[in-house]
Amino acid sequence: MPFVLTSRVNIPENKVQDYISILLAVHSGALLIGSPLFGWMADNYNSRRGPLLIGILAMAISVAMIMFARNVSIMIAARVLQGFSSAIVWSVGMALIVDTAEKTDIGYVMGYVGIALSLGLLIGPILGGIVYERAGYIPAMAMAVGLLGLDIVLRLVMIERKYVDEQTRGNGDMDGGDSSMQSEKERLGPTIAVAQDVPATENSGKDTPTPSEVSAVIQFHFTINGCRFNVPPFITLIGSRRLLVALWGTMIQSAFIAGFDTTLPIFVQKTFGWDSLGACLVFLPIAIPCFLGPAFGIASDKYGPRWVAASGFLFDVPMLVLLRLVINNSISQKVLLSALLFGIGTAIKLLDIPLMAEIMHCVDAKEAEFPGVFGQKNPYAQAYGLFNVAFAAGGLVGPFWAGLLNSQHGWGSMTFSLAVVSGFSCIPIILWTGGNLMGGKLKNEDHE
């Protein structure tokens, strides 16, 4: 990005840092605004495929805009569209994974999501840098458009688990109605049990209410001039301290990543004299630990997310503090930087894999606390929309936080400030991740 701003948009060298921060911030702002809305729309849509296709198409259009942009205004508009499209793809994509995976293995599955995310963040800049150096700007951007086209084809041939389950149940109905009826009773059992606690009315002699009727009674709502309005599930979810702590950890992690995206390429360019390819390759040590993600996910599934996530914040502190020791151009300094970045990448995986799984557990815990509160299905797209909001908030704060501190007070002060925040963030993670630790008894969910 620094090289594109100077060569194609004619931004002065001394303004590149400011414009990089702006481009990263507007993307995060659009992601922040769009995620709850698109998550709510996706949860009320019959299929995950349609919203995914819309998001990927919008992303392809935004990449094409950046490809041919010759002024900053078009690049900013394209980044806004990228933010909205990312809001759709992330919210719906994560919900689709949760719909498909077994609940007991969600941390393990999220480990592979982390691998895919890290490899994308790693391979994208490296391939982009190589193609940009060898063939130019347009071929590098055309490669991204081609990958999005392939993604559209994959979405078209995708088969969602809900349709497989419906077909399986349909075959079961043909084989034996009694067994399918029993399984349906088991599925509706908790919902009908809630309905028995609803105050009796003059129609109490009616048959057992349907799940939708039960949900209409239990779901949080408010009334204006006699008109009833159901509270959107994502508003209900915000009332969970456990979820808020997971979102806080996500936001801080995102701020760190965005801060390094903003400052690290410029730091190695000034300190080591590296070109665009070198500035891309410096992220390799951060990305390599992604392959440990499934192992961290298994640990989270087996022992709970609390201590796995907390260890990520704690391990981050010394790595960030020691970055201030990298000050000159020598082999030993480059090795030190690579080792510290590898440690930071490991800490990020220790943190983000349990927190991605924790979002799903928070939804399930709230449903267990108030059965039927979300209606007939859990709002996973909205929950991961809130995850996107937190990630976007970090992406919004990180570039300005790291960029301003780096330009005004230097690399060492910037990295030390990240270490301080990482240390303090460990406290709420220990207290509430995986349930409330207070009171001497582990609770699955806080009771507001």
Q: What is the model's pLDDT at position 171? A: 64
Domain presence at residue 218: no
Cα–Cα distance, 250 to 389 (Å, whole number): 9
Beta-carbon contacts of residue 398 (< 8 Å; ≥ 6 apart): 24, 254, 255, 256, 257, 258, 259, 261, 262
191 inside domain? no
Burial of 298 (0-12, 13-18, 19+ CB in 10 A): middle
Distance from C-alpha of 246 to C-alpha of 441, rounded to nearest angstrom:
20
Is residue 447 in some structural domain? no
Radius of gyration of the chain (CA): 24
Give me the pLDDT at residue 441, please. Answer: 45
104 falls within a domain = yes
Is residue 68, in this structure, part of any structural domain at all?
A: yes
Low-confidence ranges of the chain (pLDDT < 70): 1-3, 162-231, 439-448
pLDDT at 29: 83
pLDDT of residue 141: 85
Instruction: Name the residue range of residue 403's domain.
Output: 2-159+236-440
For residue 363, count other CB atoms closer than 10 A to its CB.
24
Which residues, in sequence order, are bridge partners of residue 443?
A: 436
- Give the model's pLDDT for residue 252: 94
223 strand-pairing partners? 228
Dist CA 351 CA 97 (whole Å): 19
- Judged by phi (left if over 0) then psi (alpha if -120 to 50, else beta), residue 102 lies in beta
| Whole-number pLDDT of residue 424 | 94
Task: Supply φ then ψ for residue 224, to 5 degrees.
Answer: -130, 120
SS3 assignment, position 214: helix
Q: For the domain that residue 56 is a member of, what is the CATH number?
A: 1.20.1250.20
Place of tokens 């936001």: 251
Number of domains in the chain: 1
Expressed in percent and rounded to 5, the helix, strand and coil fractions of the chain are 80, 0, 15
What's the pTM value of the predicted model, to 2 decimals? Answer: 0.75
Q: Is residue 216 part of a domain?
A: no
Spell out the residues 6+ positions from residue 298 whose beta carbon is closer than 8 angstroms to its own. 107, 108, 111
